[in-house]
Each structure stands twice: as C-alpha cells, then as structure tokens.
Amino acid sequence: MNNYPLDFIENICNNIGPRLPGSKNEEKAGQYIKKELEKYCDEIKVEEFYTPILKKFVLLKISTAFFLISAIYYIISPIFSFIMILLYVVFMGLLIIYPEIIDNFLPKKKSYNIIGVKKAKKTGNKKVVFSAHHDSGYVMPLFEKSKNGFFLLKFNMIISLFSILIIVANFLFGYKTIWLFYYLIFSGIIQFYISTNINSKKKSLGANDNLSSVATILNIAKNVKNQKNVDLMFISFGSEEAGCVGSQKFVRKNYKDIKNSININFESVGCGDYFGFLKSEKFGRIKYDYKNSDKFSSIIKKNDGKIINKNIGQFGKSDGGSFAKSKIKSICIIGTNKYGHIPNWHSINDVFKNIKPKNIDILTKSSLEYISSLQNKQ
C-alpha cells in the first residue's frame, strides 16, 4: 500500500491535533483536506454552517439528577417522584431521539463541510457519495476504564426502563416495597456512574475516529481510474461529534442533487480486525440499504477483509444516517473488534501508531471495485 493515507493521518495528528466541532483546529483540518481534494477532483466546494458546541453531556447529568431525586422520593412522595421521572424521560428522549430540538437552545460556532466532485465523461450518470468526518471528540472514561462500557450502557437502559415502571406503578396504584426502593437506588448509582464517566475535559486525537476514514476517501479519489459513467463525490463533514450536524446540513442543502445517489459512509475504519455494517439507527427508525451493504460486504471479503455479522450501533447515529433518514440509499462501514465494538473509541489511545494500514488498503480496493461494478451495469 502507498504511504499517502498514513502520511495524511500522521500530519494532522502531529501538526493540528484534536479537532472539536467548531474549533480552529477543525477548520485547519478542513483546509488541509480541501488542498488534498483539489489535487484529484474537478470541483471543490466548502459549505459553511453553524454547529452547537458540545454541551449535551451537561444535560445528561441534569437528567441523572431527576432520576436520583425520583428514586429518593419513591416512598416519601409518589407524586413528586413521578414528576421527576417524567422530566427524566423527557430529557433522555430529547437527548437520544430528538437532539435537534436541544440544538436550537445551545451556543453555536462555525463549522465546514469540504466537498470534492469528480465527474464522469458521460452525462446522466449514477452518483456515489463517499463520506467521513474530520472532527474529533472528547475522551470518554467510561470506555477507557472498562472493556464493558458498551455492556454497561445496555444494562443501564434495561434497569432504567424497569425503574420507570416501578415509579409509575407507585404513582397509579400505590404499589411500593422497601426492596423496590433499594432497586431504584442501585439503578440511580449506575446512572450516576455513567453520567460522570461518559465525558471528560480531555480531547481525543481522533486518528481512527475519524481521520482513518477521511484518509480512505482521499485515497479512493487519488486512485480511481477510467471513470466513464459514475459521478463521484467525496465529502469530509464537520461537527459529526456534535450530533452529525454537518451531514444533516449537507443533505438538506443538496437533497435535489443527491436524492438518487448511493452514500458510502466510513466511520472509524482504521482499527479492528473486522468490518461491520450498520443496519439501523435510533432503535430501528432509520434503516440502511441492505442490498448495497451485502454487495459491498462481498467485495470486502474478496479482498481478504473479515465481516462481523452483529447488529452494531443501532442505538447511536452516524453521518450515513443523515442520508438514510432522507430515504437516500446509504451504507455505513465501521472497523470493529470481535465483539462489534470500535477499538480505542473516544480514547487517549486513539493515536496514529494504532492505525492498521491494511484496513484502509482493503476499503480502498473494495471501493474501486464497487465503482467498477456500477460502471459495468450501464
């Protein structure tokens, strides 16, 4: 494999560093990517937008406070306990399912999407949109302190649902016991641990999440040849870590131009021994394109890549989801370990030395073959 994608990752890590949404470093990384895309694309666009700065974890702590108060007042005042758990449900619902509503009330900064277009020789073509994001986020101690961070999140979701039912039953029917009170306190302690360890002031370098993916799309742009009848677009989004803001803004602004395209989104592809494909997001409300996921998966296998079949990431969100939400065909490829988790995710260990060059090589080759397969159909 050529050193180009590795040099790109190393240069940004060493010379720019962490790139929080709306920061100067994020802007510098975008400028660097723009210069690279100018070498390989026919057109370059920079789209400016405003992004909320990362304050949502503060709201998570507020939600946890509502939960703890509700648990404490379970026996003392069922009505007050019910009101607190209701506020908890509303806040968590907004954070997880409708974060865009909260975004309207948060302070904002400028961010940028960097777009390169490589036109085919013929007109009226198919279009493939390769995408990734160049910003990085804060370190999440929850996943550094324990390999079971993802399990703890799922476990907390289950016990929280039972806690809500217990408090509602107490409010409606007056059903309560001391053991259920102890259960609520236990559940509250888990909530408190998660909310105080889900975020920190430390910044992740983001070599894997997500410079490895940007390096992949740049490498594809550099190496694609004989582009007859497939138009290509290469996009590096800003502010993914603020809630996929850049990709949402892009899809809304360019919907008419991309509505019939196929989006291939790369997320944290530079680590892990396996590649996984997102099947859905937001509890199944947003669905990815199964047909193209299966097709791309077969090409990866042919290029000696390993595919994990776990249903990964269905509770979270990615830039690919911004396309899928608007009914644009989209697939999202993630580098994972054997458990379906992203190695070094939001970690101080997300550094250049942990990048696996083979992963970028496999995805570059697979993407070029995928483009060729579309050209051969016409």
Distances (CA, A) of 226 to 119, 123, 229: 11, 15, 9
Q: Are 35 and 74 part of one and the same domain?
A: no
User: What is the number of structural domains in the chain?
Assistant: 2
Q: Are 316 and 356 part of one and the same domain?
A: yes
Query: Please, which pLDDT band fits residue 94 given cuts at 50, 70 and 90?
Result: confident
Tokens of 77: 């005042």
Query: Is the model's pLDDT at 300 over the cut of 60?
Result: yes
Could you tell me which residues are beta bridge partners of residue 129?
A: 233, 263
H helical segments located in 104-238: 141-145, 149-173, 178-197, 213-223
Residues ≥6 apart with Cβ < 8 Å to 377: none
Query: Is the model's pLDDT at 285 over the cut of 80?
Result: no
Distances (CA, A) of 325 to 252, 281, 332: 11, 9, 13
Q: Are 232 and 206 part of one and the same domain?
A: yes
Query: Please, which pLDDT band fits residue 54 given cuts at 50, 70 and 90?
Result: low
Arithmetic mean of pLDDT, 65-89: 96
Distances (CA, A) of 221 to 33, 79, 108, 218, 304: 12, 60, 32, 5, 22
- The CATH number that applies at residue 272 is 3.40.630.10
* Percent of the chain surpassing pLDDT 90: 74
Report whether 220 contacts 130 (CB < 8 A).
Answer: yes
Arithmetic mean of pLDDT, 209-238: 94
* Residue 257, pLDDT score: 94
Q: Are 265 and 361 part of one and the same domain?
A: yes
* Residue 154, pLDDT score: 84
Q: Are 178 and 210 part of one and the same domain?
A: no
Cα–Cα dist 58/38, whole Å: 40
* Residue 238, pLDDT score: 97
Q: Are 91 and 166 part of one and the same domain?
A: yes
Cα–Cα dist 265/248, whole Å: 13
Report whether 117 contacts 41 (CB < 8 A).
Answer: yes
Least confident of 66-70, 147-151, 337-341, 352-356: 147-151
Report whether 70 contacts 81 (CB < 8 A).
Answer: yes
Q: Say how many C-beta atoms besides its own lie within 10 A of residue 305's C-beta.
A: 21
pLDDT tens for 225-258 read 877 889 999 999 999 999 899 999 999 999 999 9
Chain-centre distance for alpha carbon 201: 20
Q: Which domain holds residue 81?
A: 57-100+143-197
| 0.75 surpassed by pTM | yes
Task: Compare 18 and 107 and report the one with higher pLDDT.
Answer: 18
Q: What's phi and psi for 36, nearest 5 deg? A: -70, -45
Q: Are 332 and 289 part of one and the same domain?
A: yes
Q: Which residue has the tokens 């506020």?
A: 87
Q: Are 118 and 209 part of one and the same domain?
A: yes
Query: Is the model's pLDDT at 314 over the cut of 70?
Result: no
Tokens of 33: 């990517």
Q: Are 331 and 363 part of one and the same domain?
A: yes
Provide the pairing of β-strand 262-267 with 329-336. Answer: parallel
Q: Are 189 and 250 part of one and the same domain?
A: no
* Residue 129, pLDDT score: 98
Tokens of 74: 């379970």
Tokens of 130: 């390769």
Query: Please, which pLDDT band fits residue 1 given cuts at 50, 70 and 90?
Result: low
Q: Are 65 and 205 part of one and the same domain?
A: no
Report whether 352 contacts 271 (CB < 8 A).
Answer: no
Of the three residues 174, 197, 220, the one that is the final residue of a domain is 197
Mean of pLDDT over the chain: 91
Query: Is the model's pLDDT at 299 over the cut of 70?
Result: yes
* Residue 144, pLDDT score: 74
Least confident of 11-15, 129-133, 141-145: 141-145
Q: Are 166 and 44 part of one and the same domain?
A: no
Query: Is the model's pLDDT at 378 over the cut of 60?
Result: no
Least confident of 10-24, 78-92, 119-133: 119-133
Query: Please, which pLDDT band fits residue 107 given cuts at 50, 70 and 90?
Result: confident
* Residue 147, pLDDT score: 66
